[in-house]
Every structure is written in C-alpha cells, then in structure tokens.
Amino acid sequence: MRANNQETNRDFVDVQIDERTLREIYLPAFEATVKEAKAYSIMGAYNKFRGEYLCENDYMLNKILRDEWGFKGIVVSDWAAVHSTAKSLKSGLDIEMGTPKPFNEFFLADKLIAAVKSGEVSEKEIDLHVKRILRVLFQVKAMGGGERAKGSIATEAHYQDAYKIATEAIVLLKNENNALPLKLDGVKSIAVIGNNATKKNALGGFGAGVKTKREVTPLEGLKNRLPASVKINYAEGYLERYDKKNRGNLGNITANGPVTIDELDPAKVKEAVEAD
C-alpha cells in the first residue's frame, strides 16, 4: 500500500493527503483486492504517509487494512523498507524482505530476538504474526497436506486477459477534430515516426518489470490492423542515446542513471520529414 505516485525520493517522501483523496483515489483498488479478490498478502511501500513509514503505519495496516476491510493475510515489506522492530510488528507488518545486508542484521532478525528477550516485544505479539503466516501457508497448501492447485504461465487465456485489460484501460485525453478513430477513406499511406513505435517495453527490471513472451509494438499493431492498400512509412527520426559520463543526481527522475543526449541527427530528421 503506497498512497504515492512519484519515484523521486520515493524511499522517504512523506505523503500528506486528505482523507477524501485517500479514499477516492488511492484505496479503492486495494480494497477491491482484499474484499473481492481475497488477497493473501499485501506489500507495504517505502515512503511515509502522514509522518509514518508505510511498513510501520498503524492507520493503514491495522485500522484500514485489517479492522475496516477484514484482511486476514500477511503484510510483507518492500525490499529494505523496514525502519524499526517493535513498531513495525505492532503496526501490522508480518514479514521483512531485503537484500542490501546480511539477514541477521534485518530489523526482524537478531534485533527481534533481542527485543523479545528484553521484553520490548511480547511472545503474544510474535504468536500473532506467526499465526498469520501459518494460516496463509495452509491456505495455499504449502504445508499441512492437500494437493495444491496447479497454475499456468503465459497461456493464450492470459494473453487475451492482458489484451482486454489494455483496451479497457486506455484513456483518450484529447481527440481534436475527431482525428480518432482513423478514417481510412482515401488514405494511401501513413507516416509513423519515432523509436517508440518499434521499441519493446516489457524488458523486465526490478519488481516493476514485466517479462512477456508476446508484445505487440505500435508499428506491428498498425500493420496488423490496417488494410494492405495502406502503405506504412516508418522513420526512426532520432537516436536514443545517453551520456555515460554525465549521470543524474541520486533521487531525481533519472534515478542516478545516464542523462539523455538531446541532439538530433540531421540524417534521421530528414528521413522523418520525407516520410508520408
């Protein structure tokens, strides 16, 4: 649960939004996931919400997620998104995930053992979280016997679902002069300009990556849909280049990656202008 839609400073930005905005824009998708889809797990995000990190946010994880929505599953942290031991557990976190340091240094590893021994965290608190984890393991038949339902990957049904979701998710912000849908009467050729027409975007990468065996580019989509009588003239128009020596500042939109080179190639521009 995130309540945030920016990447800049996403590890620690403090989101301050009113209750109506929270309820009408950010929570409905999660509420449907819990109440209708019966999700077994929810992941807490990196950022803060109203002054508290979301992996130790009592209002979001306990009062809304569990008390209001009746969530019975487990709350897992985003990778390295935990900042406390006792507070995280009390606020609703069940499992800590992370990779940047040895496991015993995590907040729910050696520090948790020390907190229990000192009395800061009670055995009753531990039992609560262990019960949640075991309940989910039994529900998915990862333990306790019973035959687990067999899943499937990249089936034709999956592709059709993805296509349906994509078509229903498109939002047309402007349609000046009723340019869309394309009127093909008398159209003999269409110019398509730009690298994004052929670029594959489902290349994966971290948790937000999408890896697919089938991706239709905009240019391929036009070729599939347009009649053979309409000629498609494609021109790349520019070169996608990055300055390896010049990197963005950590936390800004470039995510500390190479900065783009905003210089046009005359030959590419000429090719684009001549495409019609």
- Catalytic residue ranges: 78
In 136-257, DSSP assigns E strands to: 189-193, 231-235, 242-247
Beta-carbon count within 10 A of 107 CB:
22
Contacts of 227 (CB under 8 A, 6+ apart): 184
Cβ neighbour number for residue 54 with a 10 Å cutoff: 27
For residue 54, give both structure tokens.
């979301």
**Count of CB atoms situated within 10 Å of the CB of 276:** 10
Report residue 92 as tokens.
Answer: 């609703």
